[in-house]
């Protein structure tokens, strides 16, 4: 059971139902054994009034007179009366109900007024002394309630199943609102943390969770933490952006100085040094451009300019450009795709992301090998697979490939001119399109980068 709401709801419901069921059952059986006070009082009055009169009739007219008296009493008032001698033997020729016989026996042994233990609640048996001083036991059964009164009584006392069903419904409603009141703030906090984790650093809970309890305190702490993290990340991004902009100016001046130096006569060694300086300056310029792109993608502005374009044509142009670079190492980029692949998104961002992935594969594939680029269509997404035939990547480094400035081998990256930013840019651009990008080693050697782009972004 993974839902906290469901756990709390069922636990509260079970506990309340157990307690309430026990109370209802005990009350039910207590009411069965002990009649209500109004019935007890009426039964006592009936025995006091009719009991002595029945004894007087019996002592004067015998059993026949007593039976006639009982018959008239039953027809006129609905009260059934039976007289027992001091040994609790019935003084009648008619059939004696077992319930009334048992009450007479109990009254004889206890010497007290007794009521039925179970079942009907409208009977009573008691000791009564006649005019002659003899001891008798009188048992009576009161008339049943009218139909309407029985109906009300049945709903409230008689039908235990209905009482439990009504109790279950009321308890379920109470437990639902109780569990909802406890878990709703947790749900709001979870949605806020999920939104914050997805990159929206401006997420705050604010007044969504009110009160002075622990959850309200946790929401306040979350807002305070989110504010500090947003400020730190913002300061870091601003620093990167400012440094990148500031470096552009001296690089431009360095380029101008290199052109002026080349216009003057210089030795071969000087020309070689100038070429090296120009290469390093160009690399630094490229890195600064990538830093600015990465900062823009991580700025928190998730709005992607949407436009329809042919993804197949975009990849075809990128593969054609990559082949020029691959020819210097006698490599080739092979492209497999359907004729048309219409996609809605930012063509500029995806071009930059896909170019970084393809050029990365060309850099690290072995000489005289093939880099394959496959575009696969499906009902819900487009899948792009870029595979090289290089040495692959250590398994522990696969998850870090898309982190900024991460490089598996520093010496190799410097040799190929890598800075560890290209794949990070690709990951941010793909994520802005609600897509995914993953890396894994191929069984036949090399690295496979797989990109999925949902058709509905």
Choosing from 157, 220, 245, 433, the catalytic residue is 245
> CB neighbours of 452 closer than 8 A, spacing ≥ 6?
381, 382, 383, 384, 435, 436, 437
Instruction: Report how far Cα 98 is from the mean position of its chain's Cα atoms.
Output: 61
Closest CA to 354 of 379, 309, 299, 317: 317
Q: Tally DSSP H helices, then E strands, for the chain.
A: 12, 10
- Burial 61-76, CB ≥16 within 10 A → b, else e: eeeeebbebbeebeee
245 is catalytic: yes
Nearest to 141 by CA among 93, 87, 101, 91: 101
**DSSP code string of 107-131:** HHHH-S-B--SSS-SSEEEEEEE-T
Residue with tokens 């050697």: 445
**Greatest alpha-carbon span in the chain:** 159
Under 8 Å between Cβ of 35 and 209: no
Q: Within a 10 A sphere around the Cβ of 178, how many other Cβ atoms?
A: 15
Taking the CA atoms of the chain, what radius of gyration do you get in angstroms? 47
Residues belonging to the active site: 245
């Amino acid at each position: 059971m993974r839902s906290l709401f469901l756990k709390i709801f069922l636990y509260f419901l079970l506990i309340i139902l157990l307690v309430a069921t026990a109370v209802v059952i005990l009350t039910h059986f207590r009411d069965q054994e002990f009649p209500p006070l109004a019935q007890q009082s009426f039964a006592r009055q009936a025995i006091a009034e009719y009991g002595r009169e029945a004894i007087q009739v019996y002592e004067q007219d015998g059993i026949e007179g007593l039976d006639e008296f009982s018959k008239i009493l039953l027809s006129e008032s609905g009260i059934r009366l039976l007289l027992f001698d001091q040994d609790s033997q019935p003084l009648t020729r008619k059939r004696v109900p077992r319930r009334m016989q048992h009450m007479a026996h109990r009254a004889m042994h206890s010497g007290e007024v007794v009521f039925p233990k179970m079942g009907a609640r409208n009977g009573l048996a008691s000791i009564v002394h006649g005019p002659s001083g003899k001891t008798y036991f009188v048992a009576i059964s009161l008339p049943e309630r009218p139909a309407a009164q029985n109906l009300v009584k049945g709903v409230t006392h008689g039908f235990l199943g209905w009482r439990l069903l009504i109790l279950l419904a009321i308890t379920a409603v109470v437990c639902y609102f109780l569990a909802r009141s406890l878990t709703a703030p947790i749900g709001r906090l979870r949605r806020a943390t999920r939104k914050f984790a997805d990159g929206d650093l401006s997420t705050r809970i604010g007044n969504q969770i009110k009160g002075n309890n622990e959850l309200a305190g946790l929401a306040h702490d979350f807002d305070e933490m989110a504010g500090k993290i947003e400020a730190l990340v913002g300061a870091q991004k601003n620093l990167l952006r400012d440094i990148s902009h500031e470096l552009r100016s001296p690089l431009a001046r360095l380029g101008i100085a290199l052109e002026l130096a080349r216009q003057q006569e210089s030795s071969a060694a000087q020309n070689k040094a100038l070429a090296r300086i120009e290469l390093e300056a160009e690399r630094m310029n490229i890195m600064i451009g990538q830093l600015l792109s990465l900062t823009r993608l991580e700025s928190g502005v998730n709005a992607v300019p949407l436009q329809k374009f042919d993804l197949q044509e975009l990849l075809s142009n990128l593969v054609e450009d990559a082949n020029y670079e691959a020819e210097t190492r006698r490599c080739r980029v092979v492209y497999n795709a359907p004729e048309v692949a219409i996609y809605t998104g930012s063509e500029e961002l995806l071009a930059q992301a896909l170019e970084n992935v393809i050029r990365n594969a060309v850099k690290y594939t072995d000489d005289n090998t093939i880099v394959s680029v496959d575009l696969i269509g499906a009902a819900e997404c487009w899948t792009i697979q870029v595979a090289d035939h290089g040495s692959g990547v250590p398994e522990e480094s696969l998850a870090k490939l898309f982190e900024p400035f991460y490089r598996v081998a520093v010496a190799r990256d410097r040799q190929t001119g890598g800075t560890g930013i290209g794949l990070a840019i690709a990951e941010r651009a793909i994520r802005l399109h609600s897509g995914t990008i993953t890396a894994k080693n191929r069984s036949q050697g090399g690295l496979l980068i797989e990109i999925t782009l949902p058709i509905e972004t």
